[in-house]
A and B are shown apart, each in its own frame.
Chain A
Amino acid sequence: MDFTLQKEHVMAQALFKEFAEKEVKPLAQEVDEKEEFPRATVDKMAKSGFLGIPVPKEYGGQGCDPLTYTMCVEELSKVCGTTGVIVSAHTSLCCDPIQNYGTEEQKQKYLVPLAKGEKLGAFGLTEPGAGTDAQGQQTKAVLEGDEYVLNGSKIFITNGKEADVYVIFAITGVDTDARGRSKKRITAFIVEKGTPGFSFGTKEKKMGIRGSSTYELIFTDCRIPKANMLGAEGKGFGIAMHTLDGGRIGIAAQALGLAEGALEAAVTYVQERKQFGRSIAAFQNTQFQLADMATKVEAAKLLVYKAAMAKATQKVYSVEAAQAKLYAAEVAMEVTTKAVQLHGGYGYTREYDVERMMRDAKITEIYEGTSEVQRMVISGALLK
């Protein structure tokens, strides 16, 4: 067993780090403060190929592996959680299902411009009554001739108003099993921005990742060509769950990046800050806090990278993804909170990045499956 990174991963990591430091970090505070989507940064990332890292070259992507993509989200999130999730939602939740379930025609039409970064992607599963209980969907799609007619709404959609292509889930029927229990048939669709009947509702005012565009999507008699059905009719739930397995690795990478960013900031700060006539780094409490933070960050990194490698080599990687996300998210929350504590009163102000990192970290325990859902996935595999 060898934990040494390959040459290409070392180079890619250096690239993402340089990009994050030069292009992302200087804007992070402003993006948060103004709740402004960093469009110029997204355009630069598109130019540098960051929006199609794991997509094969024949579909306009970079042809790299999931680990490289994971490192990209990690390095971006070290300096800006918003930028990290923009790439994660676009890649894991929109490019990935089209790559996995799309027809050749759909891949040419949607995946190629998405992977080239000419278009931005989003994913709509969550509804007001369907969060963790994804089966509680209300959005319906009714087939009329060659078109499906969508009615309903989706909430908390990342890249909401900024995206061009959306993977949307809707009920296309109800099945009844032998015991008479009914089960909704869910189907995935590719929906383009600008389709008549597709509009945006409220923009969410969030605690963290404030620059990411989180919107409600509203469908009112929105007619989607039948050709835009993604995968087979009634197979949407499986597509959503498999897609979220990949998405969780992206969010785990975001959480890891936030934890690493907070740890770096804390290490710098404790050496500068003086109390009682000496640097606070000289106090054993500080040293032990940092040691615990660094150890947990390293453990999270190993789980996240392992999950990324599992995605590259295994057909099913639900448990690896759930463990990576569960642990990395909880470490992100703990490490950012400790980093604020080590900063003292200054850490509570918006002048210091750790304040933002702590707010950004919280969502990683919630979206793309809460920590409780990850525990259900992990224990479910143990007890089956």
Chain B
Amino acid sequence: MKIIVCIKQVPDTKGGVKFKPDGTLDRAAMMTIMNPDDKAGLEAALRLKDQNGAEVTVITMGLPKAEDVLREALAMGADKGILVTDRVLGGADTWATSQTIAGAIRNLEYDLIITGRQAIDGDTAQVGPQISEHLNIPVISYAQNIKIEGDSVVVERQYDDRYHVLKTPMPCLITALAELNEPRYMTPGGIFDACKAEIAVWGRDKLVDVDDSNLGLKGSPTQIAKASDKVRKGVGEKVVLDPTESVDYIMGKLKEKHVI
């Protein structure tokens, strides 16, 4: 069984978020981590590998330093890493990103593709399902449990108050939730092997069946009109009243704001 896991290096919000003057994220200046939903997707793939045996390939698109996230995945137990990086791919929105990833995946054999539900930087949840559209394979999103049954996968798809059990033949694509599992730690020996491992670096020329008009900033229909920092709320209003007056005061305010 061959599994491809799409992962993304995202800013570590603990290290502070930095912006370029045009309002887009300054990725090169930020601490980074593996996107949590993607990490859960990788863990799901590694568990399938532990149970049934599988070859797990991780793929990411990004700056050259995104190689770090691939090495982390290898140190957790993935078998191969592919970095898709090229200047012409920069500034991609979800459409251009999914076109790029799909173009890279067309070089590979696979039974299952796992992506995270969404990345904590863009929060769109679009890239996974778009990849499946480009590759013309079924998609099951928001997976909270994944099982293999013969040539099919059975997935519990999460909703707010319930889950659906869906079955689809492979090849297919699944988007994973961070709640799917508790990802394993890297192992020290895995780190040593990962640092020696060769990471395949693919540029534009390796992408199959993708038109230039669908790549990079030029191929991105999404244009950022404006990016701004959140406006901090004021300190609020402080009043000192006895309990009865307090209740009246709060009720008055709630009515004034049409909350009740």
Within 8 A of A (CB), among B185-201: 185-192, 194-195
CA distance A47 to B185 in the complex (A): 9
> Which residues of chain A come closer than 8 Å to B190, judged between CB atoms?
49
CB <8 Å contact, B188 and A15:
yes
From A11, A50, A57, B191 is in contact (CB under 8 Å) with A11
Interface residues contributed by chain A, number (CB under 8 Å) = 20
User: Hey, what's the 0/1 contact readout for A33-67 against B, CB within 8 Å counting as 1?
Assistant: 00000000000000111100100010001111000
On whether A49 and B188 interact (CB within 8 A), knowing A11-B71, A11-B72, A11-B75, the answer reads yes
From A8, A48, A63, B195 is in contact (CB under 8 Å) with A8
> What are 6 A-B pairs at a CB distance below 8 A?
A12-B188, A15-B186, A18-B185, A48-B184, A53-B189, A64-B189
CB <8 Å contact, B185 and A53:
no
> Which residues of chain B come closer than 8 Å to A367, judged between CB atoms?
none
Q: Is A82 an interface residue, CB under 8 A from the partner? A: no
On whether A48 and B185 interact (CB within 8 A), knowing A11-B71, A11-B75, the answer reads yes
For B75, B188, B194, B195, which residue has the most chain A Cβ atoms within 10 angstroms? Answer: B188
CB <8 Å contact, B195 and A11:
yes
CB <8 Å contact, B187 and A49:
yes
> Which residues of chain B come closer than 8 Å to A62, judged between CB atoms?
187-189, 192
Closest 3 CB pairs of A and B: A62-B189, A49-B187, A8-B195
Q: Is A319 an interface residue, CB under 8 A from the partner? A: no
CB <8 Å contact, B188 and A64:
yes
Q: Is A19 an interface residue, CB under 8 A from the partner? A: yes
CA distance A19 to B186 in the complex (A): 10
Residue of B nearest to A69 (CB): B188
> Which residues of chain B come closer than 8 Å to A47, judged between CB atoms?
184
Interface size class of B (residues with CB under 8 A): 10 to 19
CB <8 Å contact, B186 and A63:
no
CB <8 Å contact, A72 and B188:
yes
On whether A61 and B189 interact (CB within 8 A), knowing A11-B72, A48-B184, the answer reads yes
- Secondary structure of the B contact surface, majority rule: helix
> Which residues of chain B come closer than 8 Å to A7, judged between CB atoms?
71, 195
Q: Is A68 an interface residue, CB under 8 A from the partner? A: yes
User: Hey, what's the 0/1 contact readout for A1-25 against B, CB within 8 Å counting as 1?
Assistant: 0000011100110010011000000
Within 8 A of B (CB), among A310-325: none
> Which residues of chain B come closer than 8 Å to A49, judged between CB atoms?
187-190
Residue of B nearest to A23 (CB): B185
> Which residues of chain B come closer than 8 Å to A6, judged between CB atoms?
195
For B75, B185, B186, B195, which residue has the most chain A Cβ atoms within 10 angstroms? Answer: B185
CB <8 Å contact, B185 and A15:
yes
A70 to chain B, nearest CB (A): 12
On whether A63 and B187 interact (CB within 8 A), knowing A11-B71, A11-B72, A11-B75, the answer reads no
CB <8 Å contact, A63 and B185:
no
Within 8 A of A (CB), among B177-228: 184-192, 194-195
From B184, B185, B191, A8 is in contact (CB under 8 Å) with B191
On whether A48 and B75 interact (CB within 8 A), knowing A8-B195, A62-B192, A63-B192, the answer reads no
CA distance A47 to B188 in the complex (A): 11
B70 to chain A, nearest CB (A): 12
For A11, A15, A57, A63, which residue has the most chain B Cβ atoms within 10 angstroms? Answer: A11
CB <8 Å contact, A53 and B188:
yes
Residue of B nearest to A48 (CB): B185
> Which residues of chain A come closer than 8 Å to B188, judged between CB atoms?
12, 15, 49-50, 53, 62, 64, 68, 72
B208 to chain A, nearest CB (A): 32
For B71, B186, B191, B195, which residue has the most chain A Cβ atoms within 10 angstroms? Answer: B191
> Which residues of chain B come closer than 8 Å to A19, judged between CB atoms?
185
CA distance A50 to B195 in the complex (A): 18
Within 8 A of A (CB), among B212-253: none
B20 to chain A, nearest CB (A): 27
> Which residues of chain B come closer than 8 Å to A64, judged between CB atoms?
188-189, 191-192
> Which residues of chain B come closer than 8 Å to A50, judged between CB atoms?
188
CB <8 Å contact, A57 and B189:
yes
CA distance A50 to B190 in the complex (A): 12
CB <8 Å contact, A8 and B186:
no
On whether A63 and B189 interact (CB within 8 A), knowing A7-B195, A48-B184, the answer reads yes
Residue of B nearest to A7 (CB): B195
> Which residues of chain A come closer than 8 Å to B75, judged between CB atoms?
11, 15
Given contacts A8-B194, A11-B186, A49-B189, 4 further A-B contacts (CB under 8 A): A11-B72, A11-B194, A15-B191, A61-B189
